[in-house]
Amino acid sequence: MELVAIQINAGSDWEANRSRLAGLLLQLPSQRPLLVLLPENVAVFGCKNAIQQAAEPLGDGPIQDQFSQWARDHGIWLVVGSMPTRIEGSARFHATSLVYNELGERVAYYHKLHLFDVDVSDEQGRYRESDSYAPGEELCVVDSPFGRLGLSICYDLRFPQVYSELRAKGADILLVPAAFTRVTGQAHWQPLLQARAIENQCYVLAAGLYGEQGARQTWGHSMIISPWGEIERCLPKGEGLISTPIDTERLADIRRQMPVAQHARFSAVRRNK
């Protein structure tokens, strides 16, 4: 069983992004089963007009059909980091992560909980995701051949409570698709990812956008991190993919030898037992 993170420089044109993704998917390892994570905003990344044009009702639309077809054609579990989905009666959208199995069936989805409304010392300066998006309300953990997958998106990474709750719900692999800015990514991306892996004794599979999208600069540095906090693979720059086998026996050994979930005095894991 292999974990794969794909890194891409996505823009506001879905057709251009689709062409680049199709080429990257042809580079996948031959092993199966394969879990493939795409970055946040992988369908479109741009202004509100681009988001409006690409947004689809959850479960219905040509962009979602394409992701389903790719999962089926390549025989992979495919996790779309995020794409905009419509909210009935609202001018805003959800940033939605979609999980497809190897048959192309959508088996789970997750609406991003935490919206990036911050000021950053880069060329764009001001980020207000809440202008276009509404926050989700629920966590999601889904069964898979690789273990239980805990879903999150980008800015969620700064909220450790999210991941302790995912661990309490049985997560073995924490998925972190992202479009971290270059400034915040250089400062915090790697230590946050390693902390979430170590705290929760989970694999972390993180796929990032990379490059320049107008005034915005994204950090890349897609990573796969072990439950012990080791960086097993990293792609600092450019487009491409990284992969590594998942070692379920080592995951179990780490949790058995240092049972932090059982030792925690103030813990979501303890509350849910």
pLDDT at 23 (0 to 100): 98
- Average pLDDT of the chain is 95
Report the distance separating Cα 99 and Cα 78, nearest Å: 6
> Is residue 83 packed enough to be buried (19+ CB in 10 Å), middle (13-18) or exposed (0-12)?
buried
| Dihedral sign of CA atoms 45, 50, 56, 62 in order | negative
- pLDDT tens-digit readout, 184-211: 999 999 999 999 999 999 999 999 999 9
pLDDT at 268 (0 to 100): 57
Report the distance separating Cα 223 and Cα 216, nearest Å: 21
pLDDT at 267 (0 to 100): 65
Conformational region of residue 132, where left means phi above 0, alpha means psi within -120 to 50, and beta covers everything else: alpha
Residue 237 has pLDDT above 80, yes or no: yes
Helix (H) or strand (E) holding 255: helix 248-257
- pLDDT tens-digit readout, 14-27: 999 999 999 999 99
- pLDDT tens-digit readout, 128-151: 999 999 999 999 999 999 999 999
Q: Which residues are catalytic?
A: 40, 112, 154
pLDDT at 187 (0 to 100): 97
pLDDT at 123 (0 to 100): 78
CB contact at 8 A, 237 and 210 = yes
pLDDT at 264 (0 to 100): 86
pLDDT at 33 (0 to 100): 97
Region of poorest pLDDT, from 80-84, 89-93, 215-219? 215-219
Whether this prediction's pTM lies above 0.85 is answered by: yes
Residue 60 has pLDDT above 80, yes or no: yes
Residue 103 has pLDDT above 80, yes or no: yes
pLDDT at 270 (0 to 100): 53
Mean per-residue pLDDT, 159-178 = 97
Domain boundaries, the chain: 2-271
pLDDT at 215 (0 to 100): 79
- Multiple choice CATH, 2-271, 3.60.110.10, 1.20.140.10, 3.10.20.740, 3.40.309.10: 3.60.110.10
Helix (H, G, I), strand (E, B) or coil at 110: strand
Mean per-residue pLDDT, 92-105 = 98
Report the distance separating Cα 189 and Cα 182, nearest Å: 10
Residue 9 has pLDDT above 70, yes or no: yes
pLDDT at 272 (0 to 100): 54
pLDDT at 29 (0 to 100): 96
pLDDT at 161 (0 to 100): 96
